[in-house]
Amino acid sequence: MPFPNVRLSNRPLHFIYLCDCSGSMAAQGKMQALNQAIRQSLPGMAEVAEQNPEARVLVRAVRFADGAAWHLAEPTPVQELQWRDLEAGGITAMGEALELVAGVLQSPPMEERALPPVLVLISDGQPTDDFDAGLSQLMRQPWAQKAVRLAIAMGHDADLEVLQQFIGPEPSGGGKSPRRPLQASNATTLAQYIQWASTAVVGAASMPASRLDDTPQDAGNIPLPDLPPTLLDPVDDVGPLVW
């Protein structure tokens, strides 16, 4: 009998975008910039997935405006993903988006052997529904607690406080940190943040190493890679100040 004669499996890594598609995203090219940033990040993400065959990177996306719905409902291997543009229009049902994601982070359908998921929340404004209820429902899921949660604020009208609540406890000390909302003021910076989240963070989450069960609250689950230096001061970084 050949050995091993059982089902061996690499570990799924679920990467979920939660995208603000409210009416304000139609202004100043923000929606186009987001679509472009995600589309352009896919080859890099696929390359990271190839370099880490022990992880199976599966992408999904939620859009939220008047309500929340799956833009990409089926967990799609990143190598096969073709991004369909999001469209803007409506208000900001961010809480409902979190509830939607909470549903798929239950076990099942989450697999026993899954790697900690990566959730990226992107918004330019304030939630118009019950954000607290949505966040509460999300964080009741153990897989949401284990997840790497990132947030990107597009422009200066985004509600940084709710984005921080989504990420988790604010890290001690000042300065830029991936555990604080990443503020993108223009298309270039947005694209760099999306690239970082979809490559460096996915790379880190793909090879989680066992660690002590004593990590401080603000340190998160996966040790996150540093932000590239060019992103540390986005306000006076490359590209015009747009948003």
Residues 35-74 that bind another protein (CB under 8 A): 52-54
Selected from 172, 212, 216, 233, the binder of another protein by CB under 8 A is 212
- Cα separation, 162 vs 126, in Å, equals 8
Q: For strand 148-154 and strand 118-123, is the pairing parallel, antiparallel, or unpaired?
A: parallel
**Distance (Å) of CA 166 to CA 55, 66, 81, 120, 136:** 25, 20, 26, 10, 10
- One-letter amino acid at 85 equals D
Helix axes 94-104 and 131-139, enclosed angle (nearest 10): 20
**Distance (Å) of CA 33 to CA 154, 173, 186, 192, 237:** 10, 31, 8, 11, 17
- Which is nearer to another protein, 116 or 234 (by Cβ)? 116
Does 140 sit near another protein (CB under 8 A)?
Answer: no
Torsion of CA 168, 174, 177, 181, to 10 degrees: 60
- Which is nearer to another protein, 67 or 142 (by Cβ)? 142
Could you check whether the bond before residue 109 is cis, i.e. omega within 30 degrees of 0?
Answer: yes
- Which is nearer to another protein, 67 or 223 (by Cβ)? 223
Selected from 74, 82, 209, 216, the binder of another protein by CB under 8 A is 209
Does 188 sit near another protein (CB under 8 A)?
Answer: no
Selected from 90, 95, 116, 134, the binder of another protein by CB under 8 A is 116
Selected from 74, 80, 214, 233, the binder of another protein by CB under 8 A is 214
Does 7 sit near another protein (CB under 8 A)?
Answer: yes
Does 216 sit near another protein (CB under 8 A)?
Answer: no
CB 57 within 8 A of CB 77: yes
- Which is nearer to another protein, 74 or 112 (by Cβ)? 112
Does 223 sit near another protein (CB under 8 A)?
Answer: yes
Torsion of CA 46, 19, 111, 44, to 10 degrees: 10
**Among the candidate windows 3-11, 20-28, 39-47, 177-185, which touches another protein by CB under 8 A?**
3-11
CB of 213 to another protein, least distance (A): 4
- Which is nearer to another protein, 215 or 230 (by Cβ)? 215
The SS3 call for residue 177 is coil
Residues that bind another protein (CB under 8 A): 1, 3-11, 52-54, 112-113, 116, 145-146, 207-215, 221-223
